[in-house]
Structures are given as C-alpha cells and as structure tokens.
Amino acid sequence: MHLSSAPLSTTAASDLSQHLPDSATIQAQVQLALAEDVGDGDLTAALLPAQQRSRAELVTREAATLAGCAWFEAVFRALDPGVELHWDAADGDRIAAGQRLCVLEGHSRALLTGERTAMNYLQTLSGTATRARRYADAVAGLPVVVLDTRKTLPGLRDQQKYAVRCGGCHNHRRGLFDAILIKENHILAAGSIRAALDAAKALGRDVPIEIEVESVAEMEAAITTGARCILLDNFPLAELRRAVAANAGRSTLEASGGVTLETIRPIAETGVDRISVGDVTKDVTAVDLSMRFVVI
C-alpha cells in the first residue's frame, strides 16, 4: 500500500472544515495532552532501537461516527514529523465495526508513545459525534435545529464542539464571551425581564441575546420587551405547544432541559425552532478502537 502525508480526506460533510480549529490551536492542544502522558520521556518506548520503524493499522470495533482525525494525526506528527498516514475514513463518516480507519508508518518509539494520547482524542471525539448523530437522526425530517451546550469535558470545548458538527448537530455559544444568555438568576438579580434585556442591549455588543423563561406568560413579557430568541426551560409538551401557538413566529423558540433520545422527537414535533441538549457532550461513551503494530 502506498502511504502519504497528504491532508485529511475531504469526503465528510462539506462544511466541517470551517468548524475545525486552526492548525496552531490543534498543535497547542496536542502539546498539553502529550505533556500529561510523556512528561520528560517515555521510559518504555526507550527500550526499542531509536531507528526501528513500524506500521500500524487503526480499526474500529464498533459502528460509530468518526471525529477527531486532525488531533489524532497531530499527536504523531509532534513526535515524528516524518510519520506517514493514509486515511480510509474521514470526520463525519459513519463507520462500521471491523472497518480499518487508517494506516500509519513511522518510528516505532513515536507510534508507541503517541498511541494512547491519539486514541484518547479519537475515541472521545468519535463518541461525541456518535451521540450527536443519534440525536440528529432522532429528529430527521423535522424543521428543528439540535444544539449542544457548554456541558463539555474540561479542556475539550473546541474539540467536542467540532465533534458535534461531525455528528450532524449544531453549536450553541462557545462560552460566556460570544453570546448573552439571560437565565433565571440574571433576571432575579436585574429585577425583571425588561431590566435584564435592557441591560443586555445597553452593552452594545454585537452578539446574540437570548433569554430563558419558565412560563408562557414570561415568554409574552420577553417578546413584548423585544426578545428575539427565547429559551423555554423545562416546559412540558403541552406548554411547548401553547408557547409555539402564542408566539406565532415572532421570536425564535428554543426548548431545553432534560432532553433525551426518547423525548427529543416529541419535543421537536411541538414546532419549536431549536432544541439544546447537554447530553450530547457530557454523557459520552468512548468508541472502541484498536491499533495493531507490525515491525518493518
């Protein structure tokens, strides 16, 4: 087989590349991850001859959606800039149990040192993408957008947000700096829905403004005050239907709170515009992957 160091495959969803962090960001994230594993050196890999080379195949043991190829690749390039990789699958692809995902060739020490760090990225991010794909599939055919939340694993915000896109869902705000989400405690501290919204507008920041409400009456108050995006917090299905009817398209409505794979389609069928789901990123099961080595 011919191996190359060509860029990652572009067979995945056409818009994924615009959600991938830049190369410098990925490299910095990988350096932090490698520091956890390698410290001042891999003592076990040092038992091997420095110039020994190996080939390895990466295989998935279960069906999943692939995500994280750039981080996987960056780990090995940080340890062996001359490593050769050939990908048989790309981010966003649905992969089948037993499928080969890529072939690597390089210095044995580098492949062994980087194996766990690289696999941690690919297993976790593919687990995120796989869960996101299940949610996207659950509402297939309905005009609703499924969003993630900030309930990500510490230190993996960029990576999981990208994986969510690989699974066919969408991103909510990245952090506290790129949108204003006025929640119950903000309203209580400000004194009222109007006061909170007026304060948000007074900041003069060109960012989305969304406000959380807990009843149809509060939704009406928010719309009257000029809210254009409203989060319906833990509304029962009947209340969601009432809210959608009362809203009559005046504002974007987002349902949130306790959403599961079993409840998301009935929620979507109420006619809300968006559904945010913390479960997509916080309850992730790593995909079972395996790397098989052959000395060459």
Say if strands 53-60 and 100-107 run parallel, antiparallel, or are unpaired: antiparallel
Query: How many of the other CB atoms lie within 10 Å of CB of 167?
Result: 30
- Asked whether the beta carbons of 182 and 210 are under 8 A apart, the reply is yes
Give Cα 192 to chain centroid, integer Å.
34
What six digits make up the tokens of 157? 């915000």
Residue type, 274: R
Instruction: Give the tokens for residue 30.
Output: 């990988």
Q: Which residues are catalytic?
A: 116, 151, 183, 212, 233
Quote the CA–CA distance of 153 and 127 in Å, as a whole number.
12
How many CB atoms within 10 Å of residue 98? Answer: 10
- Structure-token match 């390895």, residue found: 56
Q: How far apart are CA 125 and CA 129, in angstroms?
A: 6
